[in-house]
Structure 1
Amino acid sequence: MKIGILGAGAMGQLFGARLQIAGQAVVFIDAAPNTINVLNSEGIALTTEDGAEHTHASAGLASDFRDILDLVMVFTKGFHTAPALESIGHLIGPETHGITLQNGLGNGVELARHFGPDRTWIGTTDFPVDLERPGVLTTSNSGKVRFGSYSARQASVLPWPFRVLQEARLNPVLEVDILPVIWEKVAFNAALNTLSAVSGQTVGQIGKSKESKELVDHVLAETAAVAASAGVVISLARVKAAITNAYENHGSHKTSMLQDREAGRRTEIDYIGGAVVRLGAEAGVATPVLWTLTLLARQPLPERRTVTPR
């Protein structure tokens, strides 16, 4: 299989390395010259609880590749999805499938425009990955991929993308109805990512604050109400259990949205909390707490001043 990894960040490198080690022909498509150069010259070193593995890598700009791909896995930030897919139009054939495991809402719509609804797969992953630097990763084998058909059409046998992921030890689970899974991940991220980006708190600090946990509960309830207005029923108990696990086991973690905001980079707020607020407004569902947090998260952080003691 010829597989394209669109977006060679931490998660893209993890999935691409696993697929390459399993014998697939993988290309990493990115726009960052440093990442491209390092992957081409050094490959990818992957460390898990079972030991270390290494694989070579073929990386480049979209324009560097010519062969039609069998599968494209998209790992870009949500705001890069549309232009990234446009850039690989020459690599998409009539039988090419696309998978998105990105955070947030709306990415599946973009993929369906390029691959067609019946060749588009949407889902989530909970693989942890620590990117020490481009090409050097640490992860766990305990993660999984939950995905399903964008068009909700189910084959009588497991689709070939499932088998490809399974052979790469990516622990796929094919869901008959993937939307509750995606909305539960959105609720999780809308609560923790948005609040941390606004407050500057780590996940553990949120878990130790009565007021912060109250805000989390409000965001979860609002997100569940918006999901219900779209005909999707989510399990708040399951989301709260995942959040509690994050409090207890990932307390020092700074969410990606907080890291982006501190670095002055664009965040994915419009694809997570912002998307929930927008859909709520369209459906007449109020989201006052998430609306407020979303507005605050869009504001630039003030410049830090260094105070010199007298």
Structure 2
Amino acid sequence: EGVRPLIGPQSWALSLQNGLGSEEIIARFVPTARLLRGSTAQGATLLEPGRIRWAGQGPTLLGLLPGVAQPPQPQAQEIIAALGRAGLPAGFTRQLEAVLWEKLLVNAAINPLTALLDLPNGRLVEEPTLRVILSDIIAEALPLARQHGVRLSPEEAVARVEQVCRATSGNISSMLQDLRGGKRTEIDFITGALLEEGRRRGRSLPLNRLLWALVAGSTRQARHHRV
């Protein structure tokens, strides 16, 4: 809503947000043929307005929405080039669904735990009990992710999440940053998206549902105290 006056009849939009579902909201304002979605793996902590501590760079991949069969237009390539000039090398993929679901798996394991326990990412693999919880979260979510092209085995999925924890060990997850700041978190777009997919496919995810409820409740409490 805040940028609606900037959207013209030929505008393109790109969503690089965590989780799933943001592009459906953006599609209310931009036709799907001119809407890109993507995944980026940047470890960063907002220290104060206008000041960010960057903790590591991973791949940035863009793609079209499902059902949009046309090849990437010149405007999409211009967006990729602009990201590159800004120090964010990006590429285009037609397998973005699997990329997004693999990232969702990582976010669903790391973000709620770090937010609830007020810990940096790396602490999740330093404590044996937390590593067990990470594995249990992944075990619940992986069958859903495999329906969307993720080809990781359970062992590979756990190793992938632990690798991200170690690579961003000092990073404060976006969900924890939001909780500390009394802001709305991404829990509905991350764990909530998993729960919705589980509902559609008749799968129960009790641990993820518990984490969703705890973060949602903590978010309301934090926002109440901020007010």
TM-score calculated relative to the size of structure 2: 0.81
What pairs with 1:10-89 in structure 2 (closer than 5 Å)? Answer: 86-89=1-4
Shift, 1:90, TM fit? 2.8
Aligned match for 1:278, one of 196, 214, 217: 196
Distance in structure 2 (CA, Å) of the matches to 1:259 and 1:164: 28
> Gapped runs of 5+ residues in structure 2?
223-227
Tell me the equivalent position of 1:287.
205
Tell me the equivalent position of 1:306.
none
Larger CA Rg, structure 1 vs 2: 1
Runs of 4+ in 1 over 6 A off after TM superposition: none
Tell me the equivalent position of 2:133.
215
Tell me the equivalent position of 2:37.
122
Change (3 A) 1:226 1:138: same
Distance in structure 2 (CA, Å) of the matches to 1:167 and 1:254: 27
> Gapped runs of 5+ residues in structure 1?
1-85, 304-310
Change (3 A) 1:232 1:251: same
Aligned match for 1:245, one of 154, 159, 163: 163
Tell me the equivalent position of 1:233.
150
Shift, 1:202, TM fit? 3.0
Tell me the equivalent position of 2:49.
134
Shift, 1:130, TM fit? 4.2
User: C-alpha root-mean-square deviation of aligned residues, in Å?
Assistant: 2.8
Higher helix residue share: 2
Q: 1:153 aligned to 2:70?
A: yes
The answer (yes or no) to whether the contact 1:143–1:171 under 8 Å persists in 2 is: no
Distance in structure 2 (CA, Å) of the matches to 1:156 and 1:102: 22
Tell me the equivalent position of 1:196.
114
The answer (yes or no) to whether the contact 2:45–2:174 under 8 Å persists in 1 is: no
Q: 1:111 aligned to 2:26?
A: yes
Cα displacement string for residues 252-289 of structure 1 (whole angstroms, at most 9, x for unaligned residues) = 43323233334443221111112211221122122121
Higher strand residue share: 1
Q: Which has the higher contact order (CA 8 A, sep 6+)?
A: 2
Cα displacement string for residues 88-134 of structure 1 (whole angstroms, at most 9, x for unaligned residues) = 33321221110010111101112222211111101111233344433
